[in-house]
Structures are given as structure tokens and as C-alpha cells.
Amino acid sequence: MTQPEPGAAPVPVLALEGVSKSFGNVRALQGVDLALHAGEAHALAGENGAGKSTLIKILGGVHTPEAGTVRLDGSPVVFAGPAGARDAGIAVIYQEPMLFADLSIAENIFMGRQPRRALGRIDHGAVREATAALMRRLGVDLDPDRPARGLSIADQQIVEIAKALSFDARVLIMDEPTAALTGTETARLFSVVEALRAAGAAVLFISHRLEEIFRLCRRVTTLRDGRLVATEALEGLTEDDLVRRMVGRDLEELYPKQDTTPGARALTVRRLTREGVFHDVSFDVRRGEIVALAGLVGAGRSEVVQAVFGVDRADAGEVEVDGTALKPGSPTAAMDAGVALVPEDRRQRGLVMEMSIERNIALTGLDRLGSAGMVRRSLERSRAADWAVRLRLKYNRLTDTAGVLSGGNQQKVVLAKWLATEPGVLIVDEPTRGIDVGTKAEVHRLLTSLAEEGIAVLMVSSDLPEVLGMADRVLVMHEGRLVAEIPRADATEESVMAAATGRPIKRPSER
């Protein structure tokens, strides 16, 4: 470690003091402090929903804090949008980089800042040369002229880092950059970041993989539920210490999973294939069982469950529910057979935001709520009220629009909507993404009790602790293929991540 001792540099390059930010009713950050020093790698730890993304977006000029100060070299600043932060030398690399798919890598890097010739004309040659030079410096072979479309996530991040290099970023902020990378790619990224840090850049690093935090960083700031837990040197800490600070509660409480004895096969998927998306996926889910479908972003998990439910048509393979083959490409047939899909993006696919809570809940069973094509309002209302109680929904009136609810409560409405169809097979896609820890525990409790009632649950999740805490079996996908099936007893963070990143780890219990 050649990093300076904590506190060696008196004035931080970039600092937050008592920063708060809310979205609607949700308080994302409350009075958080953070100081980033030149030449030091700093880690930001916290669970999903702890406020890390909000903090980054404040540093990156995307959000303005409601209270508190952002300081650049000791003086308070208010960034005029992302461009203001960039001009101050702050580069943010988001988990899923946002590039201009139609434009070349060179244009992506220099957009708005292209070197110019006389009369303000872009010097395309210089842009290309500068990009080629950046690529050489990063040691990668990417053609500056190829469009960003089709780049792997790792290469997209390289483009973002090249962009940071191109304006000599003094602060490099990375939001889970390694989540979708293979081992080699992670190593390449780390050597680049280490070089930047050694050259004097301040680095803020976010990762769910704690060993990476210990490998790269000197100090760590932990957030929980939008509040600062601690900022401390990593030296002398253990991974368990960090987890305790992040979680701040019993894991048992968050993942109330009981062992169950699985019943008959409820859902059978055989050799399901969709060209270019996923290949030859076979698995089954039994009654009373929670099966998790794990993998990296883009591994094809959501696509598989959508094909199972019939939203997308598979090119080959079949799906059986209780031994009867489902008509392919027909969500109606799937619903009739007792399958429910709670989709990933509840804002776009799960809820009609402008409609009332009760109408949203009633949407899936309209024909059961009346006769001759008419819906009876009283039935609609009583059903909604039933579910609101069962799911401990927090709301003012059932006639409020769904949009006013917090993320967690919206998710409960989506669940209610599908549970009202009394499914035998429940498919949930990222059931707790972006919802607070308290509601998360409730959703988990609900899923567990549903499984105990004999429902077969298939859960797509990127939240590793959730996968490990909830699932009876873990199916892991990598680049469109099902690469591992790990029973609860053998499922660890390492075994799942190894399979998800395609790292060949030989274990007797696998395959």
C-alpha cells in the first residue's frame, strides 16, 4: 500500500457535509458526510437502498442536495448539472454505463469537447488519434471508429474510463463497476484505477464484493437507510465488521426462510431457447419451493421468465405447468394455467401509475369481479381492501393513484394484483429492487409464507444476500445459458458469483 495515511491530505478534493435528499416521501440521504482525498481510494459500502446511488448522483451533479454542502477543494459549490461536475474534474462511471449506441467510441469519449480546427470545426483526425492514444494507455484494443452498440459492459466501462482520462479527472467515482465483469476484466480495471490513483486522483469505489473493497481501498464510509454509519480506515476491519455495519440487524430477520419439503413439480421448463438471447434452458420448480435465478445483469434471466410466461415467444423448447404443456407465446394461457409474473420494472410493466390502488389490484381478475363484461365496483373495492390488509399496505385511501405510494408499497400492490389470481406458480423478477429494508423483509416473509402454502416460487434476483437467504435452490445463468444449479446448503457468495461470471471453479458439490 502506497496510499497516504488517512487524514494526511488536510483539504479533501471533494467533500459532502450534512447532505440530505428526499424523493417524495422517501428520505434517501440524511445528514451524510464524506471526504475524498487526492491519491486515496475510498470505499462506499451499504446495502441496496442505503442511499449510495443518491450520494453518487449528488457528487456527479445529477441531483442537488436539499440540505448540506458540497465542497470542492474546501469551497462550497453547486454543480450546474452533470456538465458542471465534469468541468470540476469529477468523473462518474455508473453501473450500467450510458453511451450513445449509434455513435463511435471516439465520439462517445469527446462528445461536446472535441478538439477543434479553424472556424470551430471538429478535428476528426485529432479526436480519433486522441482516442487511440487513450486506448493504448489503457492497454485495450478497441477501434475508436466502431460504434458503441454491441460493446460488452466491460468495454463500455473502459470507454467511460477513457472519457475520465480524457479530461484528467481528479475524482473518479465508480458505482459497482465489477458487477458484470469477468475475473480478467476486473483485474484490468483495477490496474487502470490503481494507476490513476497513484497519479493523484481521488477514487470513490462501490462494490458488493467486500474483498474488492479491501483490495483497492484505504478507508470506507458505510451508509445504512440513508444515514452515515461510520467512516473509518479499512485496516484492522474484517469483512464481518463491515457487513455488521451495513446490515445493522439480524440477517435471520431479513431472510425469514424456513426449510421446506418440496412437493410435486409445478413448473417444468425444457430446452427453452430464444435465438441470441438464451439457449437450452431447462429446470423445474416444485410446489412449496423457492428457486432463485441468479446471474449478472444481461445474463438473460428476465428474458427466460418472460418467455416462460409467454410475453416473449421462445424459438424452441417447452413449458409445462402441472404436467400440461403451455401454449407458447400466450400470457393469457399462462394465467389460465395459474402462472403469475411480477415483472422487474414495476413502473413500466407492473402498475398503471395513474390508476387508483384498488383498480390496479383488480386489473388481473376483472372477469371475476362482475358479470357480462361489467365490473362491480363494490367487489373491486372489497377485494382491494382484503389484500391491503394481508400485505400490510401503507396508504391513505384505496382510491389514491398508485404513483403516490413508496416503492416498497407499489411492489406490494403489484404482488397483490397477481396473488389475487390465486396462482400455483409465482414468478417474481427482482422483487425487492429499490425498496427499503423494512418492506423488503415483509416481501420476503410474504414469499416464504406463499411457498409454505404450496405455491411454487421462481425468483429472479441480482441481490446476492437475498438469493442466498431465500432460495431452496439457486440456478445460475451466464451469457444466456444455465451454468449451475446449487442447492441451498452449498450456495455461498463465492459459488454463485463464480458460476455467474463464468469462472470455472471445480467443486465436488456442483454438477
Partner 1 sequence: MSDTLEKPPPQPSGTARGGRPAPRRSARSLTDLVFRIRELSIGGALALLILGTYLVNPGFLDDQGVQDLLLNSAILVLLATGQSVVVLTRNIDLSVGSVVGLTAFACGSFVSGTQHSAVTVVLLGTGIGVLCGLVSGLLVSFGRVPALVVTLGMLYVIQGAGHVWAHGRQINAVNVPDGVLELGSGSVLGIPYLPLISAVVLAATAYYLRAYRSGRELYAIGSSPEAARLAGIPIRRRVLAAYAFSGAVAGFAGALWLARFGTVVADAANGWELTVVSAVVVGGIAITGGVGTVLGAALGALLLTTIGSSLVVLKVNPFWEQAITGALLLAAISTDRVVRSRTTEALRKRSRN
- Count of C-beta atoms within a 10 Å radius of residue 508: 6
Among 16, 151, 384, 456, binds partner 1 (CB under 8 A): 151
Q: Give the per-residue contact string, 224-263, with partner 1 (x = CB under 8 A; - = no).
A: ----------------------------------------
Are the CB atoms for 75 and 69 separated by under 8 Å?
Answer: no
Are the CB atoms for 401 and 353 separated by under 8 Å?
Answer: yes
Distance of CA 132 to the CA centre of its chain: 32
Query: Rounded to the nearest whole angstrom, what is the least distance from the CB of residue 426 to partner 1 in the complex?
Result: 32
Q: Among 211, 174, 206, 208, which residue's Cα sits nearest to residue 192?
A: 174
Among 10, 236, 276, 323, binds partner 1 (CB under 8 A): 276
- 140 versus 333: smaller Cβ distance to partner 1: 140
Q: Does 345 bind partner 1 (CB under 8 A)?
A: no
- Binding residues among 26-65 for partner 1 as defined by CB under 8 A: 60, 62
Q: Does 385 bind partner 1 (CB under 8 A)?
A: no
Q: Does 146 bind partner 1 (CB under 8 A)?
A: yes
Q: Does 101 bind partner 1 (CB under 8 A)?
A: yes
Q: Does 502 bind partner 1 (CB under 8 A)?
A: yes
Pairwise CA distance, residues 210 & 256, whole Å: 24
Among 184, 238, 382, 449, binds partner 1 (CB under 8 A): 184
Pairwise CA distance, residues 347 & 437, whole Å: 19
Kindly tell me the sign of the dihedral angle through the C-alpha atoms of 282, 305, 459, 417: negative
Are the CB atoms for 102 and 149 separated by under 8 Å?
Answer: yes
Q: What string of DSSP letters covers 360-427?
A: HHHGGGGGGGSSTTPPPHHHHHHHHHHHHHHTT---S-TTSBGGGS-HHHHHHHHHHHHHTT--SEEE
Q: Does 77 bind partner 1 (CB under 8 A)?
A: no
Are the CB atoms for 473 and 267 separated by under 8 Å?
Answer: no
Considering only the stretches 100-108, 245-253, 386-394, 436-444, report the one whose residues sit in contact with partner 1 under the rule CB under 8 A. Answer: 100-108
Q: Does 506 bind partner 1 (CB under 8 A)?
A: no
Query: Rounded to the nearest whole angstrom, what is the least distance from the CB of residue 83 to partner 1 in the complex?
Result: 2
Among 7, 8, 67, 116, binds partner 1 (CB under 8 A): 116
Are the CB atoms for 134 and 162 separated by under 8 Å?
Answer: yes
Interacting residues with partner 1 (CB under 8 A): 60, 62, 81-84, 86-87, 92, 98-104, 107, 111-112, 114, 116, 120-122, 124-125, 128, 132, 135-136, 139-147, 149-152, 154-155, 182, 184-185, 188, 276, 502
